[in-house]
Amino acid sequence: MISIMDAYKNRTEPELELVQASLAELIAKEQKMEDEVHVRYADQIDTFERVIDSAILKLKKVFDAVEGAWVHLKDGLQRTLSSLGSRNS
């Protein structure tokens, strides 16, 4: 039987993989841009990378937490993923 935590992990990991793929696309676009636009994309990429790193760290904490404590950490991760989703739009 799959636990609630495992189900959440199975749902959030693909979301994070999609965001990382979006970051890779943004990096590829940035590398093709001229200097002025290059700087703008570089700033966005830096921000995006920091948010993704934060999400990965929170995901690790969620799954390292005991069953009773993971709900609190899950909420923080969900806010971060929501933020990433709004950046991806």
User: What is the number of structural domains in the chain?
Assistant: 1
Q: What is the C-alpha to C-alpha distance for residues 89 and 86, in angstroms, rounded to an integer? A: 5
Identify whether 28 is part of a domain: no
Identify whether 62 is part of a domain: yes
pLDDT exceeds cutoff 60 at 89: no
**pLDDT by residue (tens digit) across 51-70?**
888 888 888 777 776 666 77
Q: Which domain holds residue 64?
A: 48-89
Residue bearing tokens 């199975």: 10
pTM of the predicted model as reported, rounded to 2 decimal places: 0.51
Q: What is the C-alpha to C-alpha distance for residues 64 and 47, in angstroms, rounded to an integer? A: 26
Identify whether 23 is part of a domain: no
Identify whether 29 is part of a domain: no
Nearest to 19 by CA among 40, 44, 49, 42: 49
Average pLDDT over all residues of the chain: 80
